[in-house]
C-alpha cells in the first residue's frame, strides 16, 4: 500500500490527538473510558472512510470522533459538561457524538449501536447515496443479541456496513476466553455468510488496508464485513473505576505498553519512511491544540436548566414540569 506522506502524517496526527486528548482528561477532568492503546485500530478504521460516512461507537467514545477528524474544542467542552460541548453538556464522556463528522450514536448500552449502524447502512442503500456505515464495538458486545440480529439483517440485505470490533481482550474484567465459546470473533462472520477478517490493531496501516477493502466491498453493493482488530487497553476500563481484584497481569500490561504501543510503532514506520523530522512538529501542534481545547472547555459556561426541556422534542410542546421563565 503506497500512502501519500501527508496522509500518513494525518494518520499519525489523529492517533496523537486521541492520546493527548485523553491524557489531558486524566490531568484535568478525570472521567471516562479511555482508548489509550487502541488508537491504531480506531484511526486505521476511520481513515478508510469519507467524511460523510456514518459511524456508531461505544461508551469508549473519545477516539471515534477524533479519528473521524472532529474539532477538539466541542469534544473537550463536552467532557467538562459545558454548554459549548458537542452535545451541549447533556451527553458527556461516553457519548461524544459529532454529527458533522458522520457520527450518529455513541451508545453506552453495550451492543446498542449495532442496529443503528445497520439502519444507517439501510438508509444509504435506499437513498443510493454511496455512503457506508462503520459500526465500532468491543469484544464484549458480540455477546449481545443485537450483534447477531443486526449482522444477519445486513447480510441478507447486503447493506454497506463495516462491523469493526475493537477487541481489547476484556469486557470490563472478563477476558474473551471466559466469555466466548469460540474466542475467534472474526470467525463469527461465517455464521452469517459474510467475510470476517482479523487484523493487528496496533498496526494502523494494516487496519487501514483491511478496512479499505471492506469499505470498497460495501460501496460496491457486496454487503457487510466483520473486522476484528486485536488491540489492548492500556488503562483500566474506566479511569475512576475501583478494581478490587487483579484480573490481568502487570507483565501483560507492560508488554503492550512497551512493545505494542500503536503510536510508537507508527513513529518507527514513519521515521523509516523519512518522515521523522515531521513527527516533532505534529506533536507540538497537537499539544497546542489540546491546551487550547482545555482552556476553551474551562472558560465555557454551564448549561441552563431550560436546555433540558429545549432539547427534548423537535417542535415546541407543553412539557410537564418545565420551569416558567
Which residues form the interface with other proteins (CB under 8 A)? 54, 56, 85-91, 95, 97-99, 104-105, 107, 109, 112, 114-127, 129, 133, 145-146, 149-150, 152-153, 156-157, 308, 310-315, 317-319
Could you tell me the smallest distance in angstroms from the CB atom of residue 310 to other proteins? 8
CA 97 to chain CA centroid, Å, is 10
Residue 129 or 216 having the CB closest to other proteins: 129
Residue 157 or 296 having the CB closest to other proteins: 157
Residue 73 or 267 having the CB closest to other proteins: 73
Could you tell me the smallest distance in angstroms from the CB atom of residue 115 to other proteins? 2
Residue 144 or 198 having the CB closest to other proteins: 144
Could you tell me the smallest distance in angstroms from the CB atom of residue 261 to other proteins? 32
Closest residue by Cα to residue 3 from 41, 39, 40, 44: 44
Strand partners, 197: 227
Closest residue by Cα to residue 55 from 151, 161, 189: 161
CB under 8 Å to 263, separation ≥6 — which residues?
A: 12, 15, 16, 19, 39, 40
Beta-carbon neighbour count of residue 169 at 10 Å? Answer: 18
Q: What is d(CA 229, CA 209) in angstroms, rounded to the nearest whole number?
A: 12
- Tell me the three cell numbers of residue 111: 451492543
Residue 107 or 142 having the CB closest to other proteins: 107
Could you tell me the smallest distance in angstroms from the CB atom of residue 40 to other proteins? 27
Q: What is d(CA 71, CA 264) in angstroms, rounded to the nearest whole number?
A: 24
133 and 118 in contact (C-beta within 8 Å)? yes
Q: What is d(CA 321, CA 60) in angstroms, rounded to the nearest whole number?
A: 33
Q: What is d(CA 9, CA 285) in angstroms, rounded to the nearest whole number?
A: 12
Q: What is d(CA 38, CA 199) in angstroms, rounded to the nearest whole number?
A: 13
Could you tell me the smallest distance in angstroms from the CB atom of residue 114 to other proteins? 7
Residue 99 or 264 having the CB closest to other proteins: 99
Q: Give the burial class of 37: count Cβ atoms within 10 A of its Cβ; 0-12 exposed, 13-18 middle, 19 or more buried.
A: buried
Could you tell me the smallest distance in angstroms from the CB atom of residue 193 to other proteins? 14
Could you tell me the smallest distance in angstroms from the CB atom of residue 192 to other proteins? 11
Residue 117 or 185 having the CB closest to other proteins: 117
Amino acid at each position: 500500500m503506497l500512502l501519500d506522506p501527508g496522509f500518513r502524517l494525518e494518520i499519525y496526527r489523529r492517533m496523537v490527538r486521541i492520546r493527548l486528548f485523553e491524557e489531558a482528561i486524566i490531568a484535568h477532568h478525570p472521567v471516562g473510558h479511555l482508548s489509550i492503546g487502541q488508537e491504531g485500530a480506531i484511526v486505521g478504521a476511520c481513515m478508510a472512510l469519507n467524511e460523510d460516512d456514518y459511524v456508531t461507537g461505544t461508551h469508549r467514545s473519545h477516539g471515534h470522533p477524533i479519528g473521524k477528524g472532529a474539532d477538539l474544542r466541542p469534544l473537550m467542552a463536552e467532557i467538562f459538561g459545558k454548554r459549548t460541548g458537542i452535545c451541549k453538556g447533556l451527553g458527556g464522556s461516553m457519548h461524544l457524538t459529532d454529527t458533522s463528522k458522520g457520527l450518529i450514536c455513541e451508545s453506552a448500552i453495550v451492543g446498542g449501536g449495532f442496529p443503528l449502524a445497520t439502519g444507517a447502512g439501510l438508509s444509504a442503500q435506499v437513498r443510493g447515496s454511496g455512503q457506508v456505515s462503520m459500526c465500532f464495538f468491543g469484544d464484549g458486545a458480540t455477546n449481545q443479541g443485537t450483534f447477531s440480529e443486526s449482522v444477519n439483517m445486513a447480510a441478507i440485505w447486503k447493506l454497506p456496513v463495516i462491523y469493526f470490533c475493537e477487541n481489547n481482550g476484556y469486557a470490563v474484567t472478563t477476558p474473551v476466553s471466559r466469555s466466548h465459546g469460540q474466542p475467534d470473533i472474526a470467525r463469527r462472520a461465517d455464521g452469517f455468510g459474510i467475510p470476517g477478517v482479523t487484523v493487528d490493531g496496533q498496526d494502523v496501516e494494516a487496519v487501514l488496508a483491511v478496512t479499505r477493502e471492506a469499505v470498497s466491498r460495501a460501496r460496491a453493493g457486496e454487503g457487510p464485513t466483520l473486522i476484528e482488530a486485536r488491540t489492548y487497553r492500556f488503562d483500566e476500563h474506566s479511569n475512576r473505576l475501583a478494581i478490587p481484584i487483579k484480573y490481568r497481569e502487570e507483565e501483560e500490561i507492560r508488554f503492550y505498553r512497551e512493545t505494542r504501543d500503536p503510536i510508537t510503532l507508527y513513529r518507527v514506520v514513519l521515521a523509516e519512511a523519512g518522515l521523522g523530522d515531521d513527527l516533532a512538529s505534529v506533536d507540538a501542534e497537537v499539544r497546542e491544540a489540546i491546551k487550547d481545547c482545555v482552556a476553551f472547555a474551562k472558560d465555557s459556561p454551564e448549561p441552563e436548566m431550560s436546555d433540558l426541556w429545549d432539547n427534548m422534542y423537535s417542535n415546541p410542546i407543553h412539557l410537564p414540569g418545565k420551569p416558567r421563565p
